[in-house]
Amino acid sequence: MNENKIKLRKVGIFSQQLVHPVTELLQEWFVPHGIEITSLADGEKSETGLDLIVSFG
């Protein structure tokens, strides 16, 4: 069976109501796999080099 995989190095998280449990949950998903997560703020320029953006709200 051939699996499709996405190689992620850096993930941005955007939420207008960002709370610790959401951040902690995403850290549990991504960090053990060597994926860095960063918070994104509304109206601010985002970092370059993001492989994926996860948005809540």
| pLDDT tens for each residue of 9-29 | 999 988 776 566 677 888 898
Q: Which domain holds residue 34?
A: 10-55
Is residue 45 assigned to a domain?
yes
Q: Are 21 and 47 in contact (CB under 8 A)?
A: no
0.85 cut: is pTM over it? no
Whether 3 is covered by a domain: the verdict is no
Going across the sheet that includes 52-56, the strands are 36-40, 10-15, 52-56
In angstroms, rounded to a whole number, what is the distance separating the alpha carbons of residues 50 and 46?
9
Q: Chain centroid to CA 13: how far?
A: 4
Highest mean pLDDT among 19-23, 31-35, 43-47, 48-52: 31-35
> Do 50 and 11 contact (CB within 8 A), yes or no?
yes
Count of structural domains, the chain = 1
